[in-house]
Amino acid sequence: MTPLPTPATGQAMPTALTFVQRFSSTPRGARLARLLVLHQLDAWGVSHGSQASDSVAVLVAELAANAVTHGRVPGRDFELAVRLLGRTLRIEVSDARGERRPLVPGVTAPAPLAEGGRGLLLVEALADRWEVLDRFPVGKTVVAELDLPH
């Protein structure tokens, strides 16, 4: 995947590829999101079964499951956007429940006997960076970034 040179300077332009799709807020929608992202990554040159592909599979599965479980509003879908920006893969999962925000990354851990909050420990472990952003006009977006190997 070599960037095309600009006609004027002969220098390479940065590559930015994007996949954006809305899915039903159901377990089936979350599964479909994971499968389609893995297919798209393979088309972009990130091979199935590679460490990066496996990490993205877990990240998308966890974030999509959280959107379906905790961010669901009846009749509203969740949105998944995956952007390949050079060697950084950015995963964005948006839902309609802005008032139900996950724990703050790197600051708040789930209580030892809590029934929830452990899935984001996977996100914390696999992603190089992650954060929660407000989504306008309603909702939130959880963003996870993964630095791909050269």
Beta strands in 46-150 (DSSP E): 78-85, 88-95, 129-134, 140-147
Q: What is the pTM of this model?
A: 0.81
pLDDT of residue 71: 76
For residues 78 and 87, give the distance between their C-alpha atoms in angstroms, rounded to a whole number.
26
Per-residue pLDDT of 68-90, as tens digits, reads 988 777 878 999 999 999 999 99
